[in-house]
């Protein structure tokens, strides 16, 4: 019993030591969501529902996110972007719809906010909606499917923070590289065209 | 892409995350009570409006739209996917009412209000399973992939 406790304490010591390291590997993320200190993260939530805004503020408070600003619509977000200088913008697409996509597009074009590579997280109840696809094609980092539970919100933040995909600035697209499926079921998307050992020419 | 962002965080022991989750569970109980109150107040106001329909009155339509939209938004918090879906269709129907004041649209709005109430009263969470499907069939709303 005491041996087991000692082992637990030892592993906690290892975890604490790991705390000094800034980030985690992408393979690890595929298995387990890392616990992160989010106290230096600044977040802007765009959602026109009063209850949902206060609900998310409460949960982000429990996650100890450093700074959480909220606004009711994309217009207010446009006005607030420069002042808030968020690390992550979270937009509810079910409520903002096309206006939300316009906001994404403007951020990526550098028309609003201090920089165009801000992490963008969108939320939607329906993954098959055209606006979700449109948001992806306009450079969002991740889509969170509702309901917005504590765990799901936390995982969404962790995903966009640890997103290692390169940021692409091309003529028709600005945003994270869409070709890489980092961290999904252990597949990291790298070297996917590399011939397998069983294939000819290897 | 976001090395600067990654550098702002550091890993902490998983135990701390579990502690936060435990705190969130308590908060969710409190928020659940607030959610119920908001939803019930909105439904009450919606039925008050529906008892005296004034589809040609812009203020009446705006208030109904606001209430449907509010319910749609709240559905995203406690897994009431049907609130989101029916609320969304109701919002669109209120907009359609601007173009033409049809009795059929008014009947549909009344049906949506009753359906939203049923979702809460019967506690149809998520897609509502077989009951949710039956409800959407009656309302002639296509269930989306979620």
Torsion of CA A184, A187, A192, A194, to 10 degrees: 170
Domain annotation covers residue A89: yes
Residue A100 lies in a domain: yes
Q: pTM to 2 decimals?
A: 0.81
**Residue A2, in any domain of the structure:** no
- If one counts the domains in chain B, the total is 1
In a domain, A184, yes or no: no
Q: What is the pLDDT of residue A128?
A: 78
Q: Taking residues A121-150, what's their average pLDDT?
A: 90
DSSP string, chain B: --HHHHTT-EE--HHHHHHHHHHHHHHHHHHHHHHHHHHHHHHHHHHHHHHS--TT-HHHHHHHHHHHHHHHHHTTTTT-HHHHHHHHHHHHHHHHHHH---HHHHHHHHHHHHHHHHHHHTT--TT-HHHHHHHHHHHT-PPPP-
What pLDDT does residue A178 have?
83
Enumerate the residues of chain A whose CB falls inside 8 A of the CB of residue B7: 22-23
A26 has pLDDT over 60: no
Q: Is the pLDDT of residue A189 over 70?
A: no
B76 closest CB neighbour out of A34, A125, A162: A125
Residues of A in contact with B5 (CB under 8 A): 41, 87-88, 119, 160-161
Does position B18 have pLDDT exceeding 80, yes or no? Answer: yes
CATH number, position A145: 3.40.50.2300
| Mean pLDDT of all residues in A141-158 | 94
Whether residue A127 lies inside any domain: the answer is yes
Q: What is the mean pLDDT of chain B?
A: 92
Mean pLDDT, to the nearest integer, of B110-125? 96
Which residues span the domain enclosing A72? 35-176
What is the count of structural domains for chain A? Answer: 1
Distance separating alpha carbons of residues A107 and A81, to the nearest angstrom: 9
Of B31, B50, B29, B49, whose CA–CA distance to B39 is shortest? B31
Which of B1, B29, B41, B141 would you mutate first to test chain A, the one with the most A CBs within 10 A?
Answer: B1
Q: Establish if A120 belongs to a structural domain.
A: yes
| A63-110 per-position pLDDT tens digit | 999 999 999 999 999 999 988 899 999 999 988 778 899 999 999 999
Which pLDDT does position A196 carry in this prediction? 54
Q: A-contacting residues of B 11-50, CB under 8 Å?
A: 11-17, 20-21, 23-25, 27-28, 31, 34-35, 38
Tokens encoding A170: 């091309």
Q: Is residue A165 part of a domain?
A: yes
pLDDT category at A176 given cuts 50, 70, 90 is very high
Residue B39 has pLDDT above 60, yes or no: yes
Q: Is A20 in Cβ contact with B10 (below 8 Å)?
A: yes
pLDDT of residue A131: 87
- Complex ipTM: 0.87
**Domain-embedded: residue B2:** no
**CB-based contact, B136 to chain A, within 8 Å:** no
Q: What's the half-sphere exposure (Cβ side, CA atoms, 13 Å) at B36? A: 8
* A67 within domain boundaries: yes
- Looking at residue A19, the DSSP 8-state letter turns out to be T
Is the Cβ pair B9, A41 closer than 8 Å?
yes
- The token pair at A30 is 């595929």
Q: B92 in contact with A at a CB cutoff of 8 Å?
A: no
Instruction: Categorize the per-residue pLDDT at B77 as very low, low, confident or very high, splitting at 50, 70 and 90.
Output: very high
Residue B6 lies in a domain: no
Report yes or no on B33 lying in a domain. Answer: no
Q: The domain containing residue B102 runs over which residues?
A: 39-139
């Amino acid at each position: 019993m005491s041996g087991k406790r000692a082992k637990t304490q030892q592993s906690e010591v290892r975890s604490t030591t790991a705390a000094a390291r800034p980030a985690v590997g992408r393979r690890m993320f595929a298995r387990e969501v890392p616990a992160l200190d989010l106290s230096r993260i600044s977040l802007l939530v765009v959602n026109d529902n009063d209850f949902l805004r206060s609900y998310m503020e409460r949960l982000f408070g429990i996650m100890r996110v450093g700074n959480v600003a909220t606004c009711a619509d994309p217009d207010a977000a446009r006005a607030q972007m420069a002042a808030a200088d968020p690390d992550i913008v979270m937009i509810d697409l079910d409520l903002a719809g096309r206006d939300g996509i316009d906001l994404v597009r403007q951020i990526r074009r550098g028309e609003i906010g201090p920089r165009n590579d801000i992490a963008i997280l969108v939320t939607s109840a329906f993954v098959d909606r055209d606006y979700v696809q449109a948001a992806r094609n306009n450079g969002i980092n991740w889509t969170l499917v509702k309901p917005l539970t504590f765990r799901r919100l936390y995982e969404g933040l962790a995903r966009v923070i640890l997103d290692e995909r390169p940021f692409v600035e091309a003529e028709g697209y600005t945003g994270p590289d869409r070709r890489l499926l980092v961290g999904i079921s252990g597949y990291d998307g790298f070297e996917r065209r590399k011939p397998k050992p069983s294939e000819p020419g290897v | 892409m976001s090395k600067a962002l990654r550098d702002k965080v550091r890993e902490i022991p998983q135990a701390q995350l579990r502690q936060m989750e435990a705190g969130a569970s308590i908060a969710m109980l409190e928020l659940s009570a607030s959610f119920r109150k908001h939803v019930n107040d909105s439904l009450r106001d919606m039925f008050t409006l529906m008892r005296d329909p004034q589809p040609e009155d812009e203020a009446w339509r705006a208030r109904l739209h606001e209430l449907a939209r509010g319910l749609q938004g709240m559905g995203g918090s406690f897994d009431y996917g049907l609130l989101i879906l029916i609320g969304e269709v109701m919002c669109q129907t209120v907009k359609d009412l601007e173009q033409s004041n049809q009795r059929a649209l008014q009947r549909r709005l009344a049906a949506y209000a009753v359906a939203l109430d049923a979702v809460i009263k019967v506690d149809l969470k998520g897609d509502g399973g077989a009951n949710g499907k039956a409800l959407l069939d009656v309302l002639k709303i296509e269930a989306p992939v979620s």
